[in-house]
Amino acid sequence: MKLYCDDGSTNVKLAWFDKQALQTKLSTNSFKKGWKIEGLGGKGTFNYELDGQKFTYDEVSEQAIRTTHIEYQYTDANVLAIHHALLSSELDG
């Protein structure tokens, strides 16, 4: 399977073909530092740790790390955004 990924400044866009049908997944880049407690809010909690730094995926947080600058593409938050998009894509294999 070939998977295409565009790690844009506001969203990670994934695309692939499943039985010749185009499939897509859009995942917002919305991480904040620290961890979120499980059970707060209506959606699942996604906490990540990378190189000793803790992050949580929170698509509605006003404290989200700003991603609309060129330096963002070289940050841990960008790595996590791609990782989170892949995990939440429900791709198998």
pLDDT one-digit tens code per residue, 41-77:
666 789 999 999 999 998 888 899 999 998 998 999 9
CATH number at residue 70: 3.30.420.40
Q: Is residue 25 part of a domain?
A: yes
User: Whose CA is closest to 64, among 50, 52, 79, 81?
Assistant: 81
Q: How many domains does the chain have?
A: 1
Name the β-bridge partners of 55.
33, 48
Q: Is residue 78 part of a domain?
A: yes
Cα atoms in the Cβ-side hemisphere of radius 13 Å centred on 74: 3
Structural domain including 36 reads 3-88
User: Whose CA is closest to 67, among 83, 87, 88, 81?
Assistant: 81
Q: Is residue 93 part of a domain?
A: no
The helix/strand/coil state of 11 is strand
Average confidence score pLDDT of the chain: 90
